[in-house]
Every structure is written in structure tokens, then in C-alpha cells.
Amino acid sequence: MGIGNIIVGQSGGPTAVINSSLAGVFKTARDRGAGRIFGMVHGIQGFLDGNYVDLTQHVRDNIEIELLKRTPSAFLGSCRYKLPTVEQNEDIYRKIFENLKKLDVQHFFYIGGNDSMDTIKKLSQYADYHNIPINFMGIPKTVDNDLAVTDHTPGYGSAAKYIATICKELMCDNVAYDSENVTVLEIMGRNAGWLTAASALAADDDCKGPDMIYLPERAFDMEKFLKAIGERRKYAKTTLVCVSEGIKGTDGKYVCESAKSVIFKDSFGHTSLGGAAYYIADYVSKELGIKSRGIELSTLQRCASHFVSRTDVTEAFLAGGQAVRASFSGETGKMVLFERVSNDPYDIITTTCDVRKIANVEKKVPDEWITNDGTHVSKEMVSYIKPLIQAELSPFVVDGLPRHLCLDKNAILNCN
């Protein structure tokens, strides 16, 4: 297959570096002589409605490529859309491929997580079955770091850096007063605790780090937790507890469900999380009579581009470029992944893997990286994360605030 037109989309929860992967796709495709470079607006869901842009009209030079790398969230717009199977609705597949044919697309790139890789799997299988000459490549993205096979995922390093930084700052704030207090910090992570584990990086010569860390890989026992807080009161006035939003009690229910009168579910049937920190903090105050505060980082940890990891930005860009090179070489139905060659000094290589080994497979924190009592993480966990948060990439600042590249919604095209 020769080099032709390409299209790229973004899907799932945005990250601080997802646009760096987009920049990697755009620049590599442009430099290697691709035809036209299109972008799906709001992922595959928006493309079903025919919405797209000509990226060369929105990213006009190398300065704007650098600006795009420093822009948080998803420049093209994202979606949470579960592509049905062909058996469930083949009309959707016909529509997608009809739109791809209208734009004469030969290379399709999708930047996302587990569900996005499922989309790549299904579309590549459909193309293969019907002998349609389009290559499909997945580009990993998720702050949750839960994609299988790859050593880590672009987006995780910057979120981890932000979380560890916030923990250090909170620790400074907590000891400002000579009084008892418990702070419960809620961090993203439905079933995998990679992000919450990153709070352990706060421990250094100038900071003792979180006192307790609870991941969703282990059941959260409220009574044991209260007992542990009680023991700490004998020798410490302040406590910082980091919990994953998806921690479950010994009854198997999300802790946050105890704090909600109404439970919402998203388009994938996932329970809407959030509120575990507030519930735990209130419980501590009620049962132990200690001043306690719950803090929920929520989307801040995935969109904070003012203090990203340069390593993360560089690798996100590299992943986008590698996907283009692989597709232009004839690969399809695969995802770019990282293999760690060395931890000290840190070194990785990029390669590709059959997306069927990745789609819908969730990578959790290894049990041996969680302490026996389930209240902290091991040194191996810290050693794994630390290389991913190194160095910084400063934003372009105008009038004291970071400047971002924004999509002109008035220039959106439609092929329907």
C-alpha cells in the first residue's frame, strides 16, 4: 500500500499529553509525504455523523505543532462510544467505511485506551474480512496506565507527576497548624491503582509522603482503617491518606456509593465514581472526633499541562510517529507499545503488538507491589514510576498565562 490520505481521532478521557501524540501523527505523516491529513471531530462517534477537519488548516507550522504538544485535553474533541459488533449493527460499519471512502483514507489512527483499542480491533477485522485496503493503528493513551502488554502508557507520567506534587504541597499545608487533622485525597482509578500509587513518590528528604495509600486492588476495611488512624494519634497529629476513587469495601461495593443518593452509569455501563474521600473524611470526623477533610482531584490530574513530564510528552509524540511509520510500512490491527530496556539509566524502545492482545484487557498493579497490610506500596513501585515523571516542558506564556491551540469549530467539515 502506498502513502495516501490519513485520518486520526482521539477517544476516551483526555490527558495532558494526548495532543502530543496527535502532533506526532501529524508531523510524521506530513514529513513522510502523506496525502491529506484529516482529523475526526469527537472521535468515531463524531465521524459517524460525518464531522472532520483538514488538520493542515489548523496546525499550520512547526510553532503550532509545539503549541499543540503543550495543549491539554483533546484538540479534536473526544467521545465515549462503544462500537457494537458487526452482528449487532453492521450498518454502523457500512457508514464508517463509506465516510472513509469519501475521503479516500488509507491510514486510520486512533488515540485512546482499552475501548479505543477495541474499536481498532473491530474496524481492522472488518476491513480484512471485506478486503478493504485501509490500515488501522492504535496509539496508547490513558492516565490510568491500565493497558496490557505495554510497559506504561502516555498520559500516566504527567498525571503521576501532578499527583506527587500535590501530595508534597498538601503535606506542607497540613503541618501549618499545631492541631490534629486527617486529609483524605481521592485520586482517579476505577479498578487499577497506578495513579494513586504515584502519590508515594512524594516521599523524599523534604517530605515523608502519604501515611496511607489504598488501591482498588485490595478491599478497603473501614474498621481497620479507623483503628490505624487511632494508632497514629498516639504519635502524630496529621495524617494524609490517598485513596483510589474505585476502592471497594469488604462488601464488594464502591465506597463512594455509600455517599450517593443517586448512582449514575456512563455509556459503557460503568458506575459514576467520586465522593469516596468525602465519605471517609466525614466518617473519621463522626467516629473519632478529629477534624478531617476530603479532597477530590477529579479531572485536574489529567488536564494539568502546566507541569507535565517532558519524558511523557516526548514518548507520547514518539508513539504517534511510530504508529505512522508502522502503518506506512503495511502494518494494521496493531497498537504501539513501549518496552523498558533499562530502569537506571532509563531507556525504552517502541514496537507494535496485535491489538487483540490489548483490547478490553485491564492491567492492574502487581500484588507484590502492594504492602502486605494493603496500606502502602513497595519500593519497586516507586522505582517503576520515577523515570516517567522526569524533566519538564514549559508552556508558552502570554500575559502571564499559558497559551493553547484551539480548534475553530466554525471550520468543521462534513462528509455526509
- Is-contact 53 17, C-beta < 8 A? no
CB burial readout 122-153, b (16+ within 10 A) else e: bbbbbbeeeeeebbbbbbbbbbbbbbbbbebb
What DSSP element (H or E) covers 63?
helix 62-69
> Left (φ > 0), alpha (ψ -120 to 50) or beta: where does 73 sit?
left
Burial grade of 197 (CB within 10 A; 0-12, 13-18, 19 or more): buried
Please report where in the chains the cell 491489538 appears, as a residue.
Answer: 355
- Residue 1 grid cell: 500500500
Q: At what angle do helices 18-31 and 62-69 cross, to 10 degrees?
A: 160
181-187 and 292-296: which strand pairing?
parallel
- Is-contact 293 179, C-beta < 8 A? no
Q: Which residues are catalytic?
A: 144
| Phi, psi dihedrals of residue 242, rounded to the nearest 5° | -110, 130
How far is it, in rounded angstroms, from Cα 51 to Cα 99? 10
